[in-house]
Structure 1
Amino acid sequence: MDDKQPASQPKEDLEVFQEQPDHDFHYKTLSWQASRGVILMIAEIVSNGMLSLPSALAVVGIVPGVLLIAFFGLFALYTAKLLIDFKLNHPSVHNMGDAGYVLGGPVLREILSIGTLIFAIFGTGSELLSGQQALSTLSNNGLCTIYLLLIFSMATLLVALPRTLQGVSWLGLFSVSLIAVAGVVAMIGAGVNPVPGRALDATISTNFYQAFLAITNPVFAYAGHFMFFILISEMKRPEDAMKAAWCLQGFSTLFYVVFAVVIYVFIGNTVASPALLSLPPVWAKASFAIALGNFLIAGGLYSHTAAKIVFVRLFRDTRHIYSHTTLGWIVWVALCFVAVAIAFILAIAVPIFSYLIGIAAALFASWYTYGIAGFFWIHDAYHMEGGWKGIARRHPVGLLIAVFTVLAGAFICVAGTYVSIKLIVDAYREGLVGKPFSC
């Protein structure tokens, strides 16, 4: 491999990473089984997002809440299939930016690349805040939150540093185990300490704002598809990715439903978000202590993703991707540091950062997890089936579902942004917004 900069876009029929015996770094190492690919998918999706699901049931009721969680789990499985099919049809696609190039050329490539970077950094920030909240609970607020956030950020950086996903795959197995155990401990804690006189509702009538606010919880609990192309690019057999997706969505949907229902049944309509804050202090500390490792590893995966996108963009098809070069390591460490540092600064300097995470999810996760998958299907069907007439004649149902997927993504984007902005306005009006750089 030479040092020259690659062309703006590699050939579509070439895999992102080429394997040679003399390479120092071997990227295509992940199998789909639980020890590799599927575990990393679960580790980055099943994290702090699930802790808000019981509060969704408190807004719309247990029946609509469960139906929403199940529906969006199935919807996410469908869109995962469309993303995987698109990746298999275009092996050179490494991230959403590359997919944007295939769909709409250089401009769309930059839009989707920037969006992915923003969402990955905001995802890192979300995990940092969850880690800080866990440390604050465990220490009884015994240390300034800025210091706790700094400590957790430094640990997150260390997790992000391995150059290949194989380097964090075993951490992913540990992460999944931790969040599963933390959820079980939380359910036990709620079960042995039910809230006296709690109110439970099968269905609840509410306005659009409150209803969609509840819907955003299950919608964004599945928001991990933006990493799928990167994960599949490092699988030994990308064609096995759908097996991993089935395991991911099966586990996450079942776990989400059980966790949300059990917590809601024993705590009732007063359940907080995150739900662990509604547990007695001892049980909250136990759950947070166990989940802390999951927050750490998920944050590391998000920041690793942000760094990997830029790194591959800079050095694709050069020796710095595959060899221990000084320049390669300096750039890689710098990119990981910058990703975590930006997330840390946003978390301490922007009082409404937790609300901005909701806006970022509405703007990007709505498309990356749902809407854009419809465009992927339409693009490939159009070129493989002989244009619109071929699609309409051979795949009319598929076309209707793809169009619905695009429209659903657009609706989630617009409504989610509206709800997030209204939350910010309400927070300022009620004096809930703190000051930057404060403990």
Structure 2
Amino acid sequence: MRSETNANSSPAEKLSVSPSNQSTRSSECRDVFDDNVASHKIHYKTLSWQFVACLMVSEIVSNGILSLPSALAVVGILPAIILIIFLGAFGLFTAKLLIDFKLNHPNVHNMGDAGFLMWGGFARELLSVGTIIFAISATGSLLLTGQQALSTLSDYRVCSIYLVIICGVVTFAISLPRTLNRLTWLAFLSGFAITLSGVLAMIGASLNPVPGRVLNLTVTTNFYEAFLAITNPVFAYAGHFIFFILISEMEKPRDAMKAACCLQGFATTFYVVFSVVMYAFIGNSIRSPALLSLPPVWAKVTFGIALVNFLITGGILIHTAAKTIFIRLFRHTHHIYSHTILGWTTWCILCFTAVVIAVLFSIAIPIFSYLIGISASLFAAWYTYGLAGFFWIHDTYHLKGGMAAIRKRTWGFALAALTILTGAFICVAGTYVSIKLIADAYAVGLVGKPFAC
């Protein structure tokens, strides 16, 4: 006769019933944040799905969108549009798999926790380090774009090193709140800023079309050039690595899919419209970021508005990197929920260190802009696409009946396998293209010097 405990157990609790796994079950089924304790001074599970959508939009629809129009110049309008729409739909599918995994395992706070659950200690360290590296690298990229914005606004009269440091200071200040709900209105402002900047850029391009511009519906090119171009739309959706952290602070985690739908619907539509309009009025001469192709006045206005997004998104990413370590150090201790000296000191040090590393990467490594591509290929390809397939296989096997359950779900397994293969392909091809880019840059003398203005 089945026990009452087993009959009413949650999916996560059914992973194992052996005595040797009781501690694992208990840890896995316990939510990462215990917010029902009256004595807690800091509460985390306060986010609505609307504000989570704002955080997602702010983090994903950022400076990546400014590189998308240049992809149309390389592969043509039609292939680029098809790719952007496909990746948007595929990103929504992988988001669904990721959200389902999180709901089944409440104690998963980040990709490192997911790796530990599926493969053990080494996977936890690898995926945790990958999360931190990618978050800091992406912040470094935003700092460089912020510096580019400030350089445009100042007519390149100020040393770029100082501008990066200024952006770093603001980013550090934004990252300091311990809970994400303190960043929600900033995230809304960030999403509004990048949207307004894009709309004004399209207006500026339409009012100042490039005479004699060349437009291509399709373009014949080699694999290297084609994949180099499509990395822009591929990594424009690379924000899934933060989803576990966002969902962990939701008041109603089961509403996470609503936020993901809002994100992917808005991002895909905006990506297509912005890319096509900018390319249509500028043509194959369009630069990356696209705002540099606008007349000086329009470039200053749009860069000035977009700068708000660059700084706030950088703060959210630094917050992500710091929280990955902070939760690892103090999970289920009073330092998480109380204003302790140790807790706040550690938090400030983590945020400050992450920003300093991002700033140093930006100004001290001449090939940093190329290394961002390697970082995205090695980690974002898996976080956004590949790992979702493993999440589906793991939970189907452990929660729904082992191999028999997988065999009954042929289409589900096929799609899961496709996500894994997609992640592997993007990882390998993206790394190859990034390394070749570095070699080519050195060959033609495009690599500058460290700490150069």
Q: 1:430 is matched by which residue type in structure 2?
A: V
2:13 is matched with none
1:27 is matched with 44
Counterparts of 1:410 and 1:334 in 2: how far apart (Å)? Answer: 35
Counterparts of 2:415 and 2:167 in 1: how far apart (Å)? Answer: 43
**Is 1:419 the equivalent of 2:433?**
yes
Residue-by-residue CA offset, 1:95-149 (whole Å, 9 max, x unaligned): 0000001110111111100111100110110111111110001001111000011
Which residue of 301, 315, 333 maps to 1:286?
301
1:53 is matched with 68
Which residue of 212, 219, 231 maps to 1:216?
231
User: Taking every aligned residue pair, what percent have the same amino acid on both sides?
Assistant: 66
Maintained 8 Å contact 1:146/1:348: yes
Matched ranges for 1:188-199 at <5 A: 188-199=203-214
1:402 is matched with 416
Deviation at 1:367, TM superposition (A): 0.2
TM-score if structure 2 supplies the norm length?
A: 0.94
RMSD of the alignment, in Å? 1.1
**Is 1:144 the equivalent of 2:176?**
no
Deviation at 1:385, TM superposition (A): 2.6
Counterparts of 1:8 and 1:155 in 2: how far apart (Å)? Answer: 41
**Is 1:227 the equivalent of 2:242?**
yes
Q: Displaced runs of 4+ in structure 1, greater than 4 A?
A: 7-10
Residue-by-residue CA offset, 1:83-105 (whole Å, 9 max, x unaligned): 00000000000000000011101
1:104 is matched with 119
Deviation at 1:9, TM superposition (A): 10
Determine which structure has more spread, i.e. the larger CA radius of gyration.
Answer: 2
SS in 2 for 1:11: helix
Q: 2:173 is matched by which residue type in structure 1?
A: L
2:31 is matched with 15
SS in 2 for 1:370: helix
Which residue of 81, 86, 103 maps to 2:96?
81
Q: 2:384 is matched by which residue type in structure 1?
A: T
1:436 is matched with 450
**Is 1:115 the equivalent of 2:130?**
yes
Deviation at 1:271, TM superposition (A): 0.6
1:3 is matched with none
Deviation at 1:10, TM superposition (A): 7.0
Residue-by-residue CA offset, 1:166-185 (whole Å, 9 max, x unaligned): 11111001001100000001
2:327 is matched with 312
Maintained 8 Å contact 1:10/1:92: no
SS in 2 for 1:12: helix
1:184 is matched with 199
2:19 is matched with none
Q: 1:250 is matched by which residue type in structure 2?
A: G
Q: 1:256 is matched by which residue type in structure 2?
A: Y
Which residue of 266, 269, 284 maps to 1:269?
284
Deviation at 1:390, TM superposition (A): 2.2
Unaligned runs of 5+ in 1: 1-6
2:404 is matched with 389
Q: 1:96 is matched by which residue type in structure 2?
A: M
Deviation at 1:388, TM superposition (A): 1.8
Matched ranges for 1:335-374 at <5 A: 335-374=350-389
Residue-by-residue CA offset, 1:8-41 (whole Å, 9 max, x unaligned): 99711111101122211110010002xx111001
Q: 2:347 is matched by which residue type in structure 1?
A: W
Maintained 8 Å contact 1:161/1:336: yes
Unaligned runs of 5+ in 2: 1-22
Using a 3 Å threshold, how does the CA distance of structure 1 residues 173 and 9 change in structure 2: closer, same or farther? farther
TM-score if structure 1 supplies the norm length?
A: 0.97
Residue-by-residue CA offset, 1:44-87 (whole Å, 9 max, x unaligned): 00000000000000000000010010000001000000000000
1:258 is matched with 273
Deviation at 1:384, TM superposition (A): 2.0
Deviation at 1:242, TM superposition (A): 0.2
Counterparts of 2:66 and 2:194 in 1: how far apart (Å)? Answer: 10
Deviation at 1:310, TM superposition (A): 0.4
Maintained 8 Å contact 1:374/1:405: yes
Using a 3 Å threshold, how does the CA distance of structure 1 residues 435 and 76 change in structure 2: closer, same or farther? same
Maintained 8 Å contact 1:55/1:275: yes
Using a 3 Å threshold, how does the CA distance of structure 1 residues 9 and 356 change in structure 2: closer, same or farther? farther
SS in 1 for 2:29: coil
Which residue of 345, 370, 373 maps to 1:330?
345
Counterparts of 2:351 and 2:25 in 1: how far apart (Å)? Answer: 24
Q: 1:337 is matched by which residue type in structure 2?
A: F
Counterparts of 2:320 and 2:25 in 1: how far apart (Å)? Answer: 19
Counterparts of 1:219 and 1:363 in 2: how far apart (Å)? Answer: 13
Counterparts of 2:440 and 2:380 in 1: how far apart (Å)? Answer: 23
Counterparts of 1:429 and 1:181 in 2: how far apart (Å)? Answer: 39
Q: 2:289 is matched by which residue type in structure 1?
A: P
